[in-house]
Amino acid sequence: MRPRLIRGFPLLAGLLVVTACSTSAASSEPASSQSAEASPTASVAPTPRATVQADPLIRPAIDGAFDVGDGRKLYLQCWGEGSPTIVIDAGGGEIQEYREFAATFTSRLAHQRRVCAYDRAGHGRSDPAPNKPRQLEDLTGDLHALLEAADVEGPLMLVGNSFGGFVMAFYANRYAEEVAGVVLLDVPAPSATMTAEDEPELAWDHPGNVEHNDVVAGFENRLANEQFPFDAPLLVVTASDGQSSLEDQSFWLDWSPSSRQIELSGGHELHVDQAVAAADAVLSMAK
């Protein structure tokens, strides 16, 4: 069975600014025959320089842990300005995925809109998850409480990659009044046939499942068998070499009456492989 939780890869970016200078032509007379008075100073217009915008990721607009109830706090960072606010739920559950591995994607979004990412429970700088099987209501409730505590108001443009797409699709149904649109980045259709025997590492009490999510029954099987529609526009972005096909991911199109699907070349981590194209696809919805 295909894995749902992903990890990113380092992304290096650089900026090279080259300025050109012009030189005046030399006089045809010998330098010794020219006096300072006889040689007027030439007026040279300054060479215009391109304006380079500061990277909005350098200085977050919001940066901290916020109370989500039960004595727990989750960590949130937001960058940039503009509405609707783009909220990202990473497949691996950590801000680091979009702050470092996919910095080009996040920065491009933050140049035009406010962008927020968070560490889900048990990840990064967020508190551990409660020691019990967690459902879709638990994860979306955490996110809703986090945004409320941090005074991040709607409208929201929800962006989910991989497992994060499950969370965002359900959030759009549960908190419909806040949501302006949804973008799913290479999110395979949930599986109705997956069993705990197939994927023992996804059991809620497995040591590697730090979120204690009941992934098989509470996410995969549930979403495959029960639809949670929403009215907000939906864009399904499928990777040509991702976790599943166009046909498989078209599953999500029925969830919204205003939905469409596109394909981008690249692997499952489109926000890294196709950072610019993926960001522009999100921005096309965030109008």
Tokens found for residue 194:
């997956």
Closest CA to 228 of 133, 151, 145, 137: 137
Strands 115-118 and 72-79: antiparallel
Tokens found for residue 276:
């610019």
Query: What's the DSSP call for residue 275?
Result: H
Distances (CA, A) of 190 to 172, 225, 262: 17, 9, 19
The third-level CATH classification (topology) of the domain covering 57-285 is Rossmann fold (3.40.50)
- Can you list the positions of beta strands (E) in 212-256? 234-241
Helix axes 103-110, 275-285, angle to 10 degrees: 30
Strands 72-79 and 85-89: unpaired
DSSP per-residue string spanning 124-162: TTSPPPPSS-B-HHHHHHHHHHHHHHTT--S-EEEEEET
pLDDT confidence of residue 11: 31
pLDDT confidence of residue 49: 57
pLDDT confidence of residue 258: 98
pLDDT in tens, the chain (287 residues): 334 443 332 333 333 333 333 333 333 444 443 444 444 444 445 555 555 678 999 999 999 999 999 999 999 999 999 999 999 998 889 998 888 889 999 999 999 999 999 999 999 999 999 999 999 999 999 999 999 999 999 999 999 999 999 999 999 999 999 999 999 999 999 999 999 898 999 999 999 999 999 999 999 999 999 999 999 999 999 999 999 999 999 999 999 999 999 999 999 999 999 999 999 999 999 88
Rounded-to-integer distance, Cα 233 and Cα 259, Å = 6
Rounded-to-integer distance, Cα 11 and Cα 5, Å = 19
Tokens found for residue 13:
């970016």
| Global confidence as pTM | 0.82
Which strands, in side-by-side order, build the sheet including 115-118? 62-69, 72-79, 115-118, 85-89, 156-161, 179-185, 234-241, 259-267
